[in-house]
Every structure is written in C-alpha cells, then in structure tokens.
Chain A
Amino acid sequence: MSTEVMPRARVLIAKPGLDGHDRGAKVVARALRDAGFEVIYTGIRQTPEMIAEAALQEDVDAIGLSILSGAHMTLFPRVLEELRKRGLGDVLVWAGGIIPSEDVPKLKAMGIAEVFGPGTPTSETVAFLRRALAQRAAHA
C-alpha cells in the first residue's frame, strides 16, 4: 500500500495571495489524504511569511501552493525566500492553479519543482509527489 512506500509524509497545502477560490486546493488536499498523506491545510489568503512559518512549525516534507490570482511571479519567490530564511530551503515546493505556460520554466528555475494546470488529474499530483519525495529520501 502507498503508505508503506512513503510513511506518513506531511504536506502543507496553502493558498498565497488574495484570491478566495480554494476548491482546487481542497480537492488536492483530499486526494492526498486518500493517498495516505497527512495534509496540513491552512486555507486562503496566506502571506509568504505565514506559509513558511506553518511549514516550519509542522515540519512538512512538501508544500503545495495553489494560486489563481496571477500573482505567482511575485508571491512564489517570496515564499521560497521566507523558507530559506528559516532553514527550510530543502523542502519540496510545487504549484497548481492558473499559471501561463511561459512562466513555468521561470518558476522551475526559481526552485518550484513542478507546476500543474487546471484539470490535472489528482492521480498525477499524487504520483509526482511520491516520486519526488522518494528521490529526496534516497539523496538524504
């Protein structure tokens, strides 16, 4: 079973910025729970500081950022910076939401491990997360 491969990985799902649409984030949270992850859900309107602080207090293995507002190019670098400030530069960060394809390479260069667009099957997110976390565990 999945939980044996990646025992009790903890994942933070957060929505930076001001848009209040959290259906996507909740669907992903539920899919991850059903795949055996422990999901810390912090809801909408999170500042980069709040996201990094939650990641620190919860000692998460990965952070999923959901964004629909278009502010990803300003908010994501700030999240990554707040994480580094707290010694959390090694935490896996991925993103989902409405993100133009021309921004994806820039986000990946920044350190966002993967970007999923609308309509991505949740099974794809789960598979990505398992793979990425297993890789990190092997390197550690």
Chain B
Amino acid sequence: MSSPEAGLPRLHPSSTAGAQPDLEPGAQEATLVDQLLAGNRRALSRLLSIAERGGPRAAGVLRVLYPRTGRAHVVGVTGPPGAGKSTLVGAMARDFRTRGQTVGIVAVDPTSPFTGGAILGDRVRMLDLQSDPGVFVRSMASRGAAGGLARGTADLVAVLDAFGMDVVIVETVGAGQDEVEIVRMVDTTVVVAVPGLGDDVQALKAGILEIADILVVNKADREGAEQVAKDLLGALRLAESGPWQVPVLQTIASTGHGVDELVDAILRHRAYLESSGTWRQRRVEVARRRVLALVEDQVHQRLERAFDAERWRTRFEQAAARAADPYALAGEALAELGASINGEAASA
C-alpha cells in the first residue's frame, strides 16, 4: 500500500540525506503554494491530495508551508461508531461560523482491509456547509493506519492551517478503546459517547477516557443519556485530575442542542492551554512525535528496499532455518543503514 504513485518522483536515497537539497517544491507545487496563500480553494484541494500521497513531493510542499502553520486551533473528535460524530462536527462548524471563525474539517473513514477501497460518507452529515466559503471539508480514507487516523492526517491539518483556517476539526474513524493517536496531533480532544451502546462507558474507561479534554454525551434526548453522563463524571472522579476540569456535556447534534456550550468549552480549553503554558508544551511534544514518525517512515522505506537484495534474502532464509537470529539481523540492518547514510552525507 505504500508504493508511490506512478509518475511521482521516487524517494531515492540522496533525497533523504542530511541537507536534503532535493526537498524543494517543484515549479507546479510552488505555484499551488502561492495560490493557496492567496486563498485559492482549488489549490488548497490539490495540495491536500499531494500531502495525502506523501513522499518527497509532499515533503517539499510541507516544508515551505510549515512556518505558516501553528495558528489554527486543532480539535479532535473521536468516539464509537454511530455516536453521531459527523453530525456533531457539522454542528460545531456551524457554531464556529456564527462566531466568525473559519473551519477546516478532515473526516477519516475506514479503508477496507480486503480491497483497499473505502466509502467516505461523512460529508452527508455536513451538506449545508458545502456552499460556505469559510468551511472546507475533506474526507480521508484510513488506508490501513491504526489509531483511527490515516498516515497523512497531520499533514492535511497543516495544509488547512497554512490556508488560514482558524479552527481545524479532525474526525476519527469510529473508535472506542485504545485508538488514542488523535491526542498526539491535536490541541483539544473531544470524546463523544452515546446512550444505548450497552457497555459503552466500560469501553470508554479502557483508555479513551484519559485522552478527553471534553466529554460529550450526544443523542441526549435518548433514554439513558443522564446515566451515561453520571457514569462518565464518576469515572472522571476516579481518575487523577489535573488543573483542567474535564467537562461532561450533553448534546443533540441533529438539532444543535448543547452545541453552543460545547464550542464554549472548546474555546475555554484553548484559553486554559495558553494561560497554563500547556499549549507550548503540547506542541513541543507534537513536534517530537512528528519527527519520530517521519524518521520511522524513512527508515522503514529504506530497509524495505535494502531487504530486496540477494544478501538479505539469504540472511532471512538462514533465520528461518534458525542458523541466524532476528535480533542479530536487526543490529546488522541498523549498522548497514547507518553506513549508507554516512556514505551519502560524505558524497553530498
């Protein structure tokens, strides 16, 4: 699934070395970036696609855009399938618009692990936003990435941020337990629960509760909503609480009930992040994880290529026959990788 698309430049070794002279945007990308910064939505859309595909072409663009990012308030919305996340995200966007804020939305839906295809249906819940020039909605297939997001989600957020969106909302794949990747790339995490999913609260306790900055019980007109809210408050009391008190709110996304209070809480959370210094701390952490992920990607790609060589195939056969062991081979692979990177740096 990670093969670059035909026609795109391949990630050849020299483009990943020290100074990375090749990671400059091409003429076409440079034009798109200029158009994006001038507010062109078609250019925004094309750049989102480039960012999603990844590879050196995306890296070139993202490097240029990076200094222009960091202004948007990035809000993650996660919760079990059927909790009404898409409808809630639409309602939140509408509310932000009444406050004069522009909104970018990245909605992630699952890719079929069997065919690689996907049906992205989150837009259906946000149709009325379609003609608002202050809103831009992009659907994204998870393409096998774990954690309720897709591999390039952070890069799509960056492009929307650089475009000048005041708020960027990321909606995850329906998730319920340990899909906590979202918290690593957003400023404010909203976890959505609903009544009537049986052991819903138990599931939330297993990990997703800890990542919530704001808890929402959606479909609050349904029987059992009050109890879910009480259970969540109870669970919160058991958890160690920091200076930020996680609010438990009730919404009916389909009518907009409670959404104004939710957006108030999101803005309050931002104010808290800024006044407490947590805003900066979180973003340092986000940067650290981002670099780590990028390095992992590159190491992975280089090793996948290296392992195609005859020498490595022989080594794997030896490991299969227990004549070598994977632990030693991993050390060998890292040493070889280090040597090849040093070689490139020396010849650059």
Contact = CB atoms under 8 A, between A and B. Distances in A.
A binds B: yes
A53 B123 CA distance: 12
A53 B111 CA distance: 24
B127 A39 contact: no
A7 B5 contact: yes
A9 B257 CA distance: 38
A41 B119 contact: yes
A40 B139 contact: yes
A34 B136 contact: no
Interface stretch (B45-53, B186-194, B239-247, B337-345): B45-53
Contacts of B215: none
Contact of A29 (B48, B119, B127): B119
A56 B45 contact: yes
B120 A40 contact: yes
Contact of B45 (A32, A35, A59): A59
A31 to B, nearest CB: 9
A33 B112 CA distance: 8
Nearest to B140: A38
Interface of B, secondary structure class, is mixed
Interface in A53-101: 53-54, 56-59, 86-88
A53 B6 contact: no
A135 interface: no
Interface string B107-132: 00001100111111101100100110
Given A33-B117, A33-B119, A34-B115, A57 B124 contact: no
Contacts of A35: 115, 117
A20 B117 CA distance: 26
Interface residues of A, number: 33
A49 interface: yes
B124 A42 contact: yes
Given A7-B3, A7-B6, A54-B123, A36 B45 contact: no
A40 B131 contact: no
B137 A30 contact: no
Contacts of B7: 137
Nearest to A61: B49
A13 to B, nearest CB: 9
B42 interface: yes
B58 interface: no
B205 interface: no
A71 B112 CA distance: 35
Interface in B289-327: none
B123 A40 contact: yes
Interface string A98-122: 0000000000000000000000000
B49 A59 contact: yes
Contacts of A132: none
B108 to A, nearest CB: 12
5 contacts: A1-B116, A38-B141, A40-B139, A49-B130, A57-B137
